[in-house]
Amino acid sequence: MKSLFRSHRLAALAAAALIAAAPATARAEEFINVLTGGTSGVYYPMGVALSKIYGEKIAGTRPTVQATKASVENLVLLQQGKGEIAFTLGDSLDAAWRGDEDAGFKAPLKKLRGVTAIYPNYVQIVASKDSGIKTLADLKGKRLSVGAPKSGTELNARAILAAAGMSYKDLGKIEYLPFAESVELMKNRQLDATLQSAGLGVASLRDLATSVEITVVEVPAAVVDKAGAPFVKATIPANTYTGQSAPVQAAAVVNYLVTHEGVKEDLVYQMTKSMYENLGDLAAAHAAGKAIKLETALEGMPIPLHPGAAKYFKEKGLKVGS
């Protein structure tokens, strides 16, 4: 009996020793939840491409992609620690850091940390030709979708309309819908126009333009100037969408990738490094990826940079603020 007890005890000690040694040989997987936007926008395919890069290039990680209502929801989730990296519009990020309640932030989100500027979002206002809408003023009394509630697009809609001397009260009907749903209503003639803040060539507007005749509505330079930072003047090149034969003036806002202070420095360093070493994969996922450049990585960053991202940019010779 004593020898049986001794053998059981030795087996238990051996098992305990193996468990104790396990962390030295096999590190627990690091989860990277990538917070994106609606599946018909630009954030989602870009997020899928990012997660693929992380899975292939960062050992011991398990990336996932989460479709969300985009900027505002993403930033709130990051503050709560429910994601490791997220896409956001610059104006939403600035509002989150300040705690702008009108923008959907009840308190300043001070756990947020910047990773990098990526590509500009163009504020694209597209109307059906049948609606007769040709200018911003023509939107008065018409039916407009302004993006999902608590999205960066919807904040952009408020800002651009205000700069043009209008508010939601001037419109005939407002719908708060994601991109794909807005397009479906336009195809069914239940909406006159949709405002979508996204990279050029966004799938939803390409789909719309191949289904109905469209007018891409100009956002004049004077309106962009009145809206002020973070909006900048931009041009939607001719033939970006079917039937759009001429370039159209527009407003743009820079997009950012953001994390939070609780994510390890080495992991953020690896996420930043692997992205910039595989930009071709992002460009292949969506044309907007072609606009991501190392030299503009810190452009207009409205929040403190995460130490992991700062380490990478310093290595590449970029001037990183203290």
Got the DSSP string for 174-188?
EE---HHHHHHHHHT
Higher per-residue pLDDT: 198 or 24: 198
pTM: 0.76
pLDDT for 26 beyond 50: no
User: Which range is least confidently modeled, 19-28, 93-102, 231-240?
Assistant: 19-28
Residue range 74-81: average pLDDT? 98
Identify which of 217, 236, 214 has the alpha carbon closest to the alpha carbon of residue 287.
236
pLDDT of residue 141: 98
The region that residue 163 occupies, defined by phi over 0 for left and psi between -120 and 50 for alpha, beta otherwise, is: alpha
Residue 10 pLDDT level (bands cut at 50, 70, 90)? very low
Q: Please report which confidence band the pLDDT of residue 152 belongs to, taking 50, 70 and 90 as the band edges.
A: confident
DSSP alpha helices (H): ranges in 26-114? 43-57, 71-79, 90-98
Q: How high does pLDDT run on average in the chain?
A: 91
What share of the chain has pLDDT > 90, as a percent? 80
pLDDT range class, residue 29, cuts 50, 70, 90: confident
Question: Contact at 8 Å (CB) between 88 and 258?
Answer: yes
51 or 4, which is more confident? 51
As to burial, measured by CB atoms within 10 angstroms (0-12 exposed, 13-18 middle, 19+ buried), residue 42 is: buried
pLDDT at residue 322 is higher than 90: no
Report long-range pairs for 310-314 (Cβ below 8 Å, ≥24 apart): 311/265, 311/269, 312/269, 312/272, 312/273, 312/276, 313/272
pLDDT value at residue 185: 97
pLDDT tens track for 268-320: 999 999 999 999 999 999 988 999 999 999 988 999 999 999 999 999 999 99
pLDDT (0 to 100) of residue 182: 96
Output the pLDDT for position 23: 41
306: closest CA among 277, 266, 279? 266
* CA distances to 52, 62, 194, 262, 268 from 275, in Å: 10, 16, 32, 20, 11
The C-alpha atoms of residue 160 and residue 137 are separated, in whole angstroms, by 12
Task: Tell me the angle at which helices 265-276 and 307-315 cross, rounded to the nearest 10 degrees.
Answer: 50
pLDDT in tens, 207-228: 999 999 999 999 999 999 999 8
Give the list of residues 6+ apart from residue 107 with CB closer than 8 angstroms, or none: 99
Confidence bin at 103 (pLDDT 50/70/90): confident
Cα(203)–Cα(201) distance, rounded to whole angstroms? 6
Q: Is the pLDDT of residue 19 over 80?
A: no
Amino acid occupying residue 37: G
Q: In this structure, are residues 86 and 75 in contact, taking their beta carbons and an 8 Å threshold? A: yes
**What letter does residue 305 receive in the DSSP assignment?**
B
- Which pLDDT score is estimated for 229? 78
